[in-house]
Amino acid sequence: MWRKSEKNWQLLDLDESIVCLESHLKSIHLTGFKGKENEIELVKFFLKNARVLEKLMIFWEVDMDKSEEASEEVLNFHRTSSHVVLMFLDAKPKQRSRKWYNRYSK
């Protein structure tokens, strides 16, 4: 992580406390997820460091064969928060039937 000092950018020491990870961050929604290595590492970072995380939702960019493989990898990561729920969702929901209204219009 980077922070700007007066004149230069410096790399933050990841051992320094990041307050939102320790006490505030409860829900994360990642959209446009493609299962790339850097995205997987980001999820791993959140699961490892977000102590009060309750929900992490991943919305897949497209229907991919890799999605199942990446999902399984993520499910095996260590979690600091004992009650976090992981959800993997398709970004493009299945189209509903147009006949749904017939049940209620009678």
The reply to whether 98 falls in a domain is no
Q: What pLDDT digit, counting tens, does each position of 45-56 carry?
A: 999 998 999 999
| Domain region containing 55 | 24-92
Both structure tokens of 27:
């829900």
The reply to whether 3 falls in a domain is no
Q: What pLDDT digit, counting tens, does each position of 10-29 carry?
A: 555 655 557 777 778 899 99
This prediction's pTM: 0.66
The reply to whether 73 falls in a domain is yes
The reply to whether 101 falls in a domain is no
Q: What pLDDT digit, counting tens, does each position of 83-96 carry?
A: 899 998 886 655 55
The reply to whether 47 falls in a domain is yes
The reply to whether 75 falls in a domain is yes
Q: Look at the chain and report how many structural domains it folds into.
A: 1
Q: What long-range pairs does 65-71 form, CB within 8 A, spacing at least 24?
A: 66/34, 66/35, 67/35, 69/35, 70/35, 70/40
